[in-house]
Amino acid sequence: MIFCLFSACGQMNKNARFPAQGPHTTPWQESATAKVSCDVQDIKGDEEPGFVLQERGLLQGVQSVFNSWLTKRLLFQEHPAEPLSAQTPDFVQMDSSPQAEHDQEADMYTQTLNVRTTFEPRANLQGTIIDLENERSMAANYDQILIQGQDWTSRADGAFFIVARPVPETHGQALRIIGSGRIYHVLGDLVQGQLLETNKEIHAGDVTYPVWVSARVVEEQEPELGPEQEQSVPEVVVEPEPKPEREWSEPAEPK
């Protein structure tokens, strides 16, 4: 059965359903550009503007990618396990010395970042949600969850993750992304995370996968100007006014 997307006045209907797509069998990689700014007064005395804006841009870029995947209701298949090695990059990779541009006229800092997100759903990266905030039966945006992980949790502090659920019609052969989140605390193979965006209620038993994210500052490029072209300005010649043939004189007095 095919579902159609309707829109009115250019605004997307949040309840619209998208056509089901075939499951992805290769790692996904998608990038987003995030331009962030903040007032000088927002920077505390011991903070570096570059790091403050880098964190904001990282979150903005990742959420942009996650929202794209959630909107498309993407399906995927789990890959065979491939253990992490010492050469495997960290789940979050940032610039070691990010720079922020200071706009003196507006008294603001700005920064543009390219945020790249890579998702590789391998069996040894799977985690399972085992508890929800305040012992709830379901969770949604910005709720806290507890995840039972595997060896990957040792490097997962600050990592982003997606939440998925098997699709019944595929008899467990495919999963669909239903949410996203970020890990804020690691304790052995247990991690605590906070949900970011969801399009379904999240339940205990749903599975998670960490993703790799990198953020790099992008320098603003000034538009290249071509050689100046001479504008043809018509020559204007001002002719002197002709002298009158007779000298002007006052009229004679009436008699």
pLDDT tens digits, one per residue of 115-169:
999 999 999 999 999 999 877 778 888 899 999 999 999 999 999 999 999 998 8
- Residue entry with tokens 């070691």: 96
What is the three-class DSSP state of 55?
Answer: helix
Of 149, 90, 82, 95, nearest in space to 118 by CA? 90
> What is the token pair recorded at 139?
């969770």
Is residue 120 packed enough to be buried (19+ CB in 10 Å), middle (13-18) or exposed (0-12)?
A: middle
- Residue entry with tokens 């007032």: 39
Task: Please tell me the predicted confidence (pLDDT) of residue 194.
Answer: 96
Instruction: Give the distance, in angstroms, between the CA of residue 236 and the centroid of all CA atoms in the same chain.
Output: 57
Which residues, at least 6 apart from 90, have a Cβ–Cβ distance to it below 8 Å?
Answer: 155
pTM of the model: 0.75
* Amino acid letter, residue 130: I
Phi, then psi, of 145 in degrees rounded to 5? -135, 160
| Partners of residue 28 on adjacent β-strands | 119
| Partners of residue 139 on adjacent β-strands | 202
Structure letter (DSSP) for residue 138: -
Per-residue pLDDT of the chain (255 residues; tens, 9 = 90+): 333 332 333 333 333 333 345 555 556 899 999 999 998 888 887 889 899 999 999 999 999 999 999 999 889 999 999 888 888 899 999 988 888 898 888 889 999 999 999 999 999 999 999 999 877 778 888 899 999 999 999 999 999 999 999 998 888 789 999 999 999 999 999 999 999 999 999 999 999 999 999 999 987 665 555 555 545 545 545 455 555 555 555 555 555
End-to-end CA distance of the chain: 114
